[in-house]
Amino acid sequence: MNGTTEAKGAPQTKTRRHLVRGGLLVAYILIMVLMILTGRRHTILIDNKDAADGSYRAINGMEVSIDKQESSEYYPGDRDKAMVQGQKHTIKVNIFDDNKTIEQSFTVPLWNDMTIISVPKMVAGIEPWIEPFTMAEQIQEALESGPPAGEMSFQSLDSGVPAGTEQTQQSP
């Protein structure tokens, strides 16, 4: 009789053990997902530049803060960064000229390490005012706009020779 009772209890114990292990696995996965969503850090670039096509203009002076962090002042052409943690954030912009305050909520895409916010686009109501930051796009934009006034441009990165200068060969 004892052998029969032990044989029936063994499958129940294994089933219970599998359920507990499965429950723990699900709990660990949920904790990992929660940590990724709330603990991931992102860099937000705050941009105050004119549009290349003239569709919007930079703001003459403003103060910007993200998520109650210390605010910073921005003038036309400025760009700065803020480090944030998590996905959902709030940006607060105080424009100096008309003493107007604008507050917007936004969500940073999960796998984007760096995002750029164009404050003039946001104030003008032009979508999308938040975009993923890619270095290739920024390099292309810089090449299209040309060098700032009074600075030298280079013909190619390989030659290292400024535009407008000639290279002379020396004979041995």
Nearest Cα residue to 126 out of 71, 53, 69: 53
Query: What are the structural domain ranges in the chain?
Result: 1-39, 41-145
* pLDDT top residue among 3 and 95: 95
Nearest Cα residue to 57 out of 45, 49, 69, 47: 49
User: At residue 156, does pLDDT exceed 50?
Assistant: no
Which amino acid belongs to residue 66? I
Query: Angle at Cα 154 formed by Cα 150 and Cα 156, nearest 5°?
Result: 165
pLDDT (0 to 100) of residue 171: 47
pLDDT (0 to 100) of residue 14: 87
Q: What is the pLDDT of residues 115-145, one digit of tens each?
A: 888 888 888 888 888 888 877 666 766 666 6
Q: For residue 171, give the DSSP letter.
A: P
Other CB atoms within a 10 A radius of the CB of residue 40 amount to 16
User: At residue 153, does pLDDT exceed 60?
Assistant: no
Query: Angle at Cα 129 formed by Cα 127 and Cα 132, nearest 5°?
Result: 115
First-residue to last-residue Cα distance in the chain: 107
**Could you tell me if 77 and 46 are in contact, meaning their C-beta atoms sit under 8 angstroms apart?**
no
pTM of the entire structure? 0.60
User: At residue 1, does pLDDT exceed 70?
Assistant: no
CA distance linking residue 117 with residue 51, whole number of Å: 13
